[in-house]
Amino acid sequence: MERYLQRIKEIATDRKHGARELYHRAVENLLEWVKERGYHHPLELVPLLAETARAQPTMAPLLNLVNRILLAWEEGPSRAQEILEEALQEDQPSTAKVVEEGVKILKDNRIVTLSRSSTLLEVMKALLKEGKRPRVLISEGRPLMEGVATARHLHKMGADVTLCTDSLIFSLMEEGDVVALGADAITPRYLVNRCGTYPLALVARDRGVAFYTFTDTGKLLPPALAPLFKMEDRDPAEVLEDAPFEIANRYFDQTPLDYITAAVTEKGILKPRDLRRLIAKTKVSPRVKEIEGYLTAHTPSL
């Protein structure tokens, strides 16, 4: 069991890799456990899934994965193994559909964005293959400067990039035609994404600029899984070391879902009402209560 927990600890502390890679590592870890121990040590299921959920509590796909495994486990470990094997294969078709829809929306538009979205980068690649040169306005993305890294990446790809400070992007909104961002989670009320998304949505709404989130439906988070979802404070030293005063360092904010134009997903272009309809249809295992109970009763072991 210790080997599996150590891998989860590495996922929890990883600040270098994107959500997609962390998700795949979590799936691979759970799949190996099911194959090697799950059939003989089923009592380890709840602690292992609980620690997986705690590792990245803002990653809706991980929380949904925990729910899917709990539902599958009702049919037995073999079904849980099938679900995990499917999870490793389902990413590429979903991304391809999002890219197909995204190209239609972003073609010939000046794009305003924040941080880094691997799905959005795939759309940019597709535009370049079509002979288009995406025009992108992006802010720095403090404190980890993800926007700077994304700007460099886009420039190397061949995009026309303008980088600005985090606060300046709101004043430059009028230079854009469309806001295009990723998503960490979508609840019935909010889009959860990197800080700056909410004020960007407000300015876009005021200026009449379309606002799209590029995501797969694995990031839709039903209310029953909300207790597992947490937006935690991050290391204050990322902002300022040895500060003699309190530092607020949070990566995410919440944008009212009705402020977005639509989500570009593998199921097509979905309006907020469509997203809510899908969320309402999501089945949640009653055993999620056991995961909640474990997390409440156990201080972080990672």
Burial of 134 by CB count in 10 Å (0-12 exposed, 13-18 middle, 19+ buried)?
A: buried
Q: Are 216 and 266 in contact (CB under 8 A)?
A: yes
The dihedral over CA atoms of 4, 8, 9, 10, expressed in degrees to the nearest 10, equals 100
Tokens 């430059």 sit on residue: 172
Residues 6+ apart with CB under 8 A from 290: 46
Indicate if 184 belongs to the active site.
yes
Backbone φ and ψ for 270, nearest 5 degrees, come out as -115, 125
* Angle (CA) 81 118 252, round 5°: 95
- Measured CA to CA, the distance from residue 247 to residue 217 in angstroms comes to 34
Active-site residue, selected from the candidate residues 184, 206, 235, 242: 184
Backbone φ and ψ for 39, nearest 5 degrees, come out as -70, -25
Active site positions, annotated: 184
